Amino acid sequence: MTVETVGAILVDNGRVLLGRRAGHKTFAGCWDVIGGHVEPGETIDAALHRELSEELGITGSSATYIETLVIGDGNGSSVPLHLFAIPGWRGTPGVRNDEHDELRWFDLAEAAVLHPVVTDDYRRVLASLRIPRG
């Protein structure tokens, strides 16, 4: 069975929200999108909304599919990561669990050259991101 993951990039006024991976997690200290594994029997959409709630304490009101990346999982395997832009939500994003030790808004130009990141593909995606309207 292939493990799938979802990733959310919150977008607001030309900026994107990324989280820095906590020290005890794989890819510690790297900037990452918000997200995680799709649970057995869960749809990608349901997983995306669950992860937004669990990690940020928000409810996404819209999501725009960006693309699916295949990334290393830090354990020698690769997993598909379904990336979405989130231009609208309810609530105030904040660190709600131990996945990230910091959340930060970056303008797109800064995010496109950010280091370190979980995968270099993030830089390409962020460099070409066209922010949808919420």
Parallel, antiparallel, or unpaired for β 34-37 and 5-12?
antiparallel
Q: What is the pLDDT of residue 26?
A: 87
Residue 19 Cα distances to 40, 100, 105, angstroms:
25, 6, 9
| 97 has pLDDT over 70 | yes
Give the domain ranges of the chain. 5-128
Q: Is 15 exposed, middle or buried (0-12, 13-18, 19+ CB in 10 A)?
A: middle
The mean pLDDT value of the chain amounts to 92
**5-128 architecture in CATH?**
Alpha-Beta Complex (3.90)
1-57 confidence digits (pLDDT tens): 578 999 999 999 989 999 999 989 889 999 999 999 999 999 999 999 999 999 999
**Cβ atoms of 30 and 104 closer than 8 Å:** no
**Cβ atoms of 53 and 45 closer than 8 Å:** no
Question: Which range among 23-27, 66-70, 99-103, 104-108 shows the weakest confidence by mean pLDDT?
Answer: 23-27
E-assigned strands of 13-99?
15-21, 31-32, 34-37, 59-72, 78-90
Q: For tokens 């990733």, what's the residue?
A: 7
**Residue 134 banded pLDDT, cuts 50, 70, 90:** very low
d(CA 125, CA 55): 22
Q: What region, left, alpha or beta, does residue 79 occupy, with left being phi > 0 and alpha being psi -120 to 50 degrees?
A: beta
| 75 has pLDDT over 80 | no
